[in-house]
Amino acid sequence: VADTLRGRMLLSEGDVHFEGWNLSADKVRALTKVTILACGTSWHSGIVGKAMIESLARLPVEVELASEFRYRDPIVEPTHLAIAISQSGETADTLAAFKEAKARGATALALCNVIGSAMTREADITILTNAGPEIGVASTKAFTTQLVGLYLLAVKLGRMRGTLTVKAAQEHLTALTEVPKMIEDVLKCEPSVKRVAREFMGAQDFLFLGRGPMHPVALEGALKLKEISYIHAEGYAGGEMKHGPIALIDEKMPVVIIAPKQPHVAYEKIIGNIEEVRARGGKVIAIIDEDDTHVATLADHIIRIPAASALLAPVVATIPMQLLSYHVADLRGNDVDQPRNLAKSVTV
């Protein structure tokens, strides 16, 4: 965990000390809303961050597409905390939205990977992730690192607002110290991911489904596949399947269903999704817990992942998504580090 964030960061007695943190307890208690501003993969981590902050600090969070924010008339007040999430710290739309929120009175917090980047210069507070430099254009380790940064921030806000006891905060911090081991364990799924990649490398479309905390994981799985494999992919919340994407399902359509048994994932409903896909001839690739015996019998392919606490499950479940797009892209002969048409930081 110490390696996750740059600068001095101390975890002690249920508290997180970020270097340069200058928000008083009074100001944190007076906050009425958090607005997360981000693009692409960073926007997906914002959706995970929303669940973390709402659950631990009991503050309402809105996750805004930064590319839309400045083109409307957003409601921003001095009691709002605007969080810009960006690997590069330079993405033009995120920077513009961040400036807009700050100009309208919000406190500005940047969660970025690059010291001295435009967003860190703009910010009142910066939390520096230590995920770089990323060699590839598509954001991967930045995503998982942003999730850890958001988790730590949620614990800090929860402590300052009094919504988390010292004991509860310490339990979350202890769970975070298990992340490196969890990542080591989840990487063991690579052989099964490779088998899936070989079978579906020629697919024209993919669908990714997840509920609750697995919804942003599904969105990210689809985005990574698009970015480096150039395969059309859609990520959907499981409950939305019947509102449209179900029309796409036929025997040519692989559907990745992210189904660890987690609170808010609605495991029973996910089983319904699997049955609906199978009934239309679609091929189900299920991401499941190591000890799952039920979904394992329903899916065409399974990828097992280690059990994780509710707020860390998205970190773990994202790894097989990243590996899948990597192996599919590699098998198709694509340059996984320099995908066509993509820039590391989108500055226009």
Binding site for ligand F1P (CB under 6 A): 39-42, 86-88, 91, 94, 137-139, 342, 344-346
CA Rg value for the chain? 20
Which CB sits closer to ligand F1P, 66 or 277?
66
Which CB sits closer to ligand F1P, 220 or 289?
220
Helix ranges (H only) for 8-137 are 25-30, 40-57, 66-69, 92-103, 118-122
Which CB sits closer to ligand F1P, 97 or 284?
97
Q: Across-strand partners of 62?
A: 35
Minimum Å gap between C-beta 345 and ligand F1P is 5
Which CB sits closer to ligand F1P, 225 or 270?
225
**Dihedral of alpha carbons 274, 279, 282, 283, sign:** positive
Q: Residue 59 in 3-state DSSP?
A: coil
Which CB sits closer to ligand F1P, 63 or 137?
137
Q: Which residues contact 313 (CB under 8 A, 6 or more apart)?
A: 213, 214, 260, 262
**Dihedral of alpha carbons 147, 149, 313, 335, sign:** positive
Which CB sits closer to ligand F1P, 169 or 336?
336
Helix ranges (H only) for 162-234 are 166-177, 179-186, 190-200, 215-224
Minimum Å gap between C-beta 21 and ligand F1P is 22
Q: How far apart are CA 219 and CA 227, in angstroms?
A: 12
Q: Which residue is nearest to ligand F1P (CB)?
A: 40
Minimum Å gap between C-beta 338 and ligand F1P is 11
The alpha carbon of residue 309 and the mean position of all alpha carbons in its chain are separated, in whole angstroms, by 15
41 contacts 139 by C-beta, under 8 angstroms: yes
Minimum Å gap between C-beta 223 and ligand F1P is 7
201 contacts 230 by C-beta, under 8 angstroms: no
Q: How far apart are CA 252 and CA 41, in angstroms?
A: 27
Q: How far apart are CA 188 and CA 303, in angstroms?
A: 10
Minimum Å gap between C-beta 97 and ligand F1P is 11
Minimum Å gap between C-beta 318 and ligand F1P is 13
Overall residue count recorded for the chain in this entry: 348
Minimum Å gap between C-beta 136 and ligand F1P is 8
Which CB sits closer to ligand F1P, 39 or 288?
39
